[in-house]
Amino acid sequence: MSPPDVNHCGTCTACCRVYAIPEFSKPAGKWCSHCTVGKCCNIYETRPKRCVDFKCLWLLSQSQLSNKFGPELRPDKCKVVFAPSTNERIIGALTMPDRPDAWQGKAPLKLINQFLRAGFAVSIGPPAARKQLVLEPDGSRREVRMTEPDKDGMQWSIREDGGQDGNISQ
């Protein structure tokens, strides 16, 4: 018998807004129609696999003995969803649509600086934004142009020569 599917997110539902859910034609930045905001997923037992599989860095940290992120960093509190990106060198920091400056709050900024000191870059912006701010471990910062979201809600950085890649490497 498989173990029960326990929700460790509490009342956070931030990722139900910031990410696209192609199964429901839900664009990034809009609340999922199956979400009771700040409470729960109404189809929790049958939600799409991408919802089952997704864990933001706050959630992942909760199962660690050390480096557990505090409650102030839960995405519904700090208004930033920190998550791995398609580039293992870069941490994504997706701000809630109505709070594009939330990353500059005390708790998220402290975490961002920890990532930078650990050698990661941090890519910051609201869902589906055509520009991301990328902070680098050497202290530099740059704006990176992004493609429109594709049918799966994925976006790719646009290089100076107009080509696309997923590495925000321009």
- List of residues contacting ligand SF4 (CB under 6 A): 9, 12-16, 21, 32, 34-35, 41, 43, 47-48, 51, 54-56, 58-59, 74-75, 81
Beta carbon of residue 93, minimum distance to ligand SF4 (angstroms, whole number)? 12
Beta carbon of residue 125, minimum distance to ligand SF4 (angstroms, whole number)? 16
Q: Is the Cβ of residue 122 or residue 158 nearer to ligand SF4 in the bound state?
A: 122
Amino acid sitting at position 166: G
Beta carbon of residue 46, minimum distance to ligand SF4 (angstroms, whole number)? 9
Q: Is the Cβ of residue 9 or residue 168 nearer to ligand SF4 in the bound state?
A: 9
Distance of CA 83 to the CA centre of its chain: 4
Q: Is the Cβ of residue 32 or residue 121 nearer to ligand SF4 in the bound state?
A: 32
Q: Is the Cβ of residue 59 or residue 129 nearer to ligand SF4 in the bound state?
A: 59
How far apart CA 85 and CA 93 sit, in angstroms, is 9
Q: Is the Cβ of residue 56 or residue 90 nearer to ligand SF4 in the bound state?
A: 56
Can you tell me whether residue 41 is helix, strand or coil?
Answer: strand
Bridge partners, 125 (sequence order): 94
Q: Which residues contact 126 (CB under 8 A, 6 or more apart)?
A: 18, 29, 94, 95, 96, 97, 100
Enclosing H/E stretch for 144: strand 141-145
Question: Exposed, middle or buried by CB within 10 Å (0-12, 13-18, 19+), for 75?
Answer: buried
Beta carbon of residue 130, minimum distance to ligand SF4 (angstroms, whole number)? 23
Do residues 143 and 131 lie in contact, with contact meaning Cβ atoms separated by under 8 Å?
A: yes
Beta carbon of residue 74, minimum distance to ligand SF4 (angstroms, whole number)? 6
